[in-house]
A and B are shown apart, each in its own frame.
Chain A
Amino acid sequence: MNTRWRFYLVGFLLLMAIDTGAQLCFKLAATHAAPFAADPGWLLRVLREPWVYGAIAGYLGAFVTYMTLLKHAPVGPAFAASHLQVVSVMAASAWLFGERLAPLQLVGAALIVLGILVLARAEDEVAQTTPGHAR
């Protein structure tokens, strides 16, 4: 496995993990601060919830990771590949919160993973035809 491959693999998996963690923190913070109301009381309850700080830290971490990836990765495929978190958040919600998954959602998740594998293959192809450029 060459350096570029390792960089993309580690980067996108890290992005997925941090993004998923942040979404789970959001969900936990929202659940604990329920019921929702558009008033200062609800906002105060959210701010007293430790999970919300996990979510904020996650967003900052994801931002730093994504900017580092973008330095080398083309933005079109990188933005598409960042949708991997749709799959991981779905899996984590089913596992942790017992959310039900429709068969069509599982097909969708499989298509997202397949699409990312195709994009990874596409990067190899582009790297071979235009050496030294991440375009």
Chain B
Amino acid sequence: MPPISFALWLLVLVFDTGGQLAFKAASGVPGEGLGHWRAMAVRPWLWLGIAAFTCEFVTWLAFLSVVPLAEGVLLSCLNMAAVMLGGRWLFGERLTARRLLGVALITLGVVLVGAG
């Protein structure tokens, strides 16, 4: 892979994973219904997540302009593994055998759909 494609892919991975983890951090504040949204809006996590996804959108478009779509989808599948590891690291989510199997099956499925 040329350095520019690799750099863009790495950025997509960082923004996508960072966005998911920021959203998880945002959702953890106490509150119900509208109160929950008010509590999320005054903390940085939700906005950080939205910023990450905005950056990801632009980076993803740039990435797809240098690699074919099927290859792009293939490489973006690593995002699932990265979010899983991030969840364990930041929120103490358990990596059980069943969870790993489930995520592996979904990853393989997305690869096959993208390759078709």
Point out residues on A near B: beta carbons under 8 Å: 66-68, 70-71, 74-77, 79-81, 83, 86-87, 90, 101-102, 104-105, 107-119, 121-122, 125-126, 130, 135
Taking A117-B102, A122-B102 as known contacts, 11 extra A-B pairs with beta carbons closer than 8 A to each other, sorted by chain A number, are: A68-B27, A75-B20, A75-B24, A76-B80, A80-B107, A104-B115, A111-B112, A112-B105, A115-B107, A115-B108, A126-B96
CB distance from B65 to the nearest CB of A (A): 12
Point out residues on B near A: beta carbons under 8 Å: 20-21, 23-24, 26-28, 36, 40, 46, 79-80, 83-88, 91-96, 98-99, 101-116
Contact of B98 among A80, A83, A104, A122 (CB under 8 A): A122
Complex formed: what's the CA distance from A117 to B92 in Å?
A: 23
Interface of B is mostly: helix
Q: Are B116 and A75 in contact (CB under 8 A)?
A: no
9 A-B pairs closest in CB distance? A108-B112, A115-B105, A111-B109, A105-B116, A122-B98, A112-B109, A76-B84, A119-B102, A115-B106
Looking across the interface, which residue of chain A has its beta carbon closest to that of B92? A135
List 7 A–B pairs whose Cβ atoms lie within 8 Å, in order of A's numbering. A74-B91, A80-B80, A104-B112, A109-B109, A112-B110, A115-B104, A135-B93
Q: Are B109 and A76 in contact (CB under 8 A)?
A: no
- Residues in B neighbouring A118, C-beta threshold 8 A: 98, 101-102, 105
CB distance from A109 to the nearest CB of B (A): 6
Looking across the interface, which residue of chain A has its beta carbon closest to that of B17? A79
Given that A67-B40, A70-B27, A79-B80 are contacting pairs, would A101 and B106 also be in contact in the complex, using a CB cutoff of 8 Å?
no
- Residues in B neighbouring A83, C-beta threshold 8 A: 80, 106, 109-110
- Residues in B neighbouring A125, C-beta threshold 8 A: 96, 98
CB distance from B22 to the nearest CB of A (A): 10
Contact of A67 among B27, B80, B93 (CB under 8 A): B27
CB distance from A85 to the nearest CB of B (A): 11
Q: Are A107 and B112 in contact (CB under 8 A)?
A: yes
Q: Are A115 and B103 in contact (CB under 8 A)?
A: yes
Complex formed: what's the CA distance from A113 to B95 in Å?
A: 20
Looking across the interface, which residue of chain B has its beta carbon closest to that of A117? B102
Complex formed: what's the CA distance from A115 to B27 in Å?
A: 25
Given that A76-B83, A76-B87, A105-B112 are contacting pairs, would A121 and B98 also be in contact in the complex, using a CB cutoff of 8 Å?
yes
Q: Are B106 and A105 in contact (CB under 8 A)?
A: no
